[in-house]
Amino acid sequence: MIKIFDTTLRDGEQSPGCSMNLNEKIQMARQLERLGVDIIEAGFASSSPGDFKSVEELSKAIKNSTVASLARCVKNDIDVAYDAVKFAAKPRLHIFLATSEIHMKYKLQMSEEEVLEKVKKYVSYAKSKCDDIEFSAEDATRSDVEFLCKVFAVAIEAGATTINIPDTVGYITPNEYADIIKRVKEGTKGIENIDISVHCHNDLGLAVANSLSAIEAGATQVECTVNGIGERAGNTALEELVMALKTRRDYYKKDTNIVTEEIMNASNLLAQITGVKISPNKPIVGKNAFAHESGIHQHGVLKERTTYEIMDPKSIGLNKNSIVLGKHSGKHALKDKLNELGYEVTSDELEKLFIKFKELSDLKKTVFDEDIRAIMVRELQNVED
């Protein structure tokens, strides 16, 4: 079983234009719970009074999923994060510190020894407050892997129950990521019963591929967001990752607790709340993801859906696929549309209507139901004349 850690309300909210108010976050969190995510990262409690309030309120509202708050390796951050999540049925503290040479030198101005000290001190402190502790090595994919293993061993010894290997800047490629995961699994003392989490950013468009590759290498938790929102180019898109695992169950042989029929509801709710539109060709939830325009495809799908569809639209909560009439459409699709609109036509009538339809589709990108009705009205008038 792969645990799904949803960070729509924390990393996702860091996406420009995606900030949400308290009520919106509560609505979204309730939908995430219906979706069946294992962990909801509710926010970064110490980052603002508003974030504290929303983590606190979400902790009270959510009953089934674990609720997490992010915190730096700073005593006050951990205190504030715990004060906010302590009401949750299942609280988690998510502590992070950077481990790459670039971050240690320019951002933290700390040596490797100082980083190890800090991890030990603050993971132990967090553990004194909360049982469920996740430790993230920020910029892990640009860190020295041997050092990474030392950091994780210290975090585990201090009480971490999940270790996270983030691709913070979306830099890694799938094979390299799998290699890091394997080396961490083999080289970290005490890792046997610990969840290995991955958190991928999409700067090179590889977040989902990297997460899947990490699962093959032994990751047991994936961090993701609805519609893939998040810092810069976003995070692993929950719906893409989950549907890849479900559709290719034969290959990955891993399940999640996600109720996939709730995917469209989650995607639409987020788009409505943030006002950020989903691109039409976005996998799974884009307007065109289950639309068929070309005649050959339409003919195939109308006869047998699986000819051109690898997923059942119902499995993500869509009523049905859509046959979009345009210049590539054929007679089967037109006949099907006419029947759907209540018209029964003979094959001679269909031939004539098809000529009219083709003339119109050369002039318009999409032929809508109203256009078909207009053609029919004109044809019927001609017959009467």
How many residues bind Zn ion, per CB under 5 A?
A: 1
Q: Is 152 helix (H, G, I), strand (E, B) or coil?
A: helix
- Nearest residue (CB) to ligand KIV, 133 versus 375: 133
Beta-carbon contacts of residue 287 (< 8 Å; ≥ 6 apart)? 278, 280
- Nearest residue (CB) to ligand KIV, 100 versus 329: 100
Residue 96 binds which entry of Zn ion, ligand KIV, none, CB below 5-8 Å type-dependent: ligand KIV
d(CA 305, CA 311): 9
18 and 12 Cβ atoms separated by less than 8 Å: yes
- Nearest residue (CB) to Zn ion, 7 versus 65: 7
Nearest to 322 by CA among 367, 364, 271: 367
Which residues ranging from 51 to 80 are in contact with Zn ion (CB under 5 A)? none
CB of 203 to Zn ion, least distance (A): 11
d(CA 312, CA 354): 29
d(CA 32, CA 8): 9
Residue 239 binds which entry of Zn ion, ligand KIV, none, CB below 5-8 Å type-dependent: none
Q: Is 220 helix (H, G, I), strand (E, B) or coil?
A: coil
φ, ψ at 135 (rounded to 5°): -115, 130
- Write a three-state SS string for 244-284: HHHHCHHHHCCCCCCCHHHHHHHHHHHHHHHCCCCCCCCCC
Q: Which one-letter amino acid corresponds to residue 279?
A: S
CB of 40 to ligand KIV, least distance (A): 15
Is 201 assigned to a binding site? yes
Can you give the binding site for ligand KIV, defined by CB under 6 A? 11, 70, 96, 136, 138, 164, 166, 168, 199, 201
- Nearest residue (CB) to ligand KIV, 136 versus 143: 136
Is 11 assigned to a binding site? yes
CB of 201 to Zn ion, least distance (A): 6
CB of 247 to ligand KIV, least distance (A): 27
Is 371 assigned to a binding site? no
CB of 378 to ligand KIV, least distance (A): 58
Residue 198 binds which entry of ligand KIV, Zn ion, none, CB below 5-8 Å type-dependent: none
Beta-carbon contacts of residue 327 (< 8 Å; ≥ 6 apart)? 358, 361, 362
Is 235 assigned to a binding site? yes
Q: Which one-letter amino acid corresponds to residue 47?
A: S
- Nearest residue (CB) to Zn ion, 221 versus 321: 221
CB of 111 to ligand KIV, least distance (A): 21
Which residues ranging from 3 to 32 are in contact with Zn ion (CB under 5 A)? 11
- Nearest residue (CB) to Zn ion, 44 versus 125: 44
- Nearest residue (CB) to Zn ion, 204 versus 360: 204
- Spell out the alpha helix ranges (H) of 145-304: 145-157, 174-187, 207-217, 238-247, 249-252, 263-274, 295-303
CB of 94 to Zn ion, least distance (A): 11
Residue 151 binds which entry of ligand KIV, Zn ion, none, CB below 5-8 Å type-dependent: none
d(CA 307, CA 243): 18
Annotated binding site: 11, 199, 201, 235
Q: Name the site residues for Zn ion (rule: CB under 5 A).
A: 11
Which residue ranges make up the annotated binding site for Mn(2+)? 11, 199, 201, 235
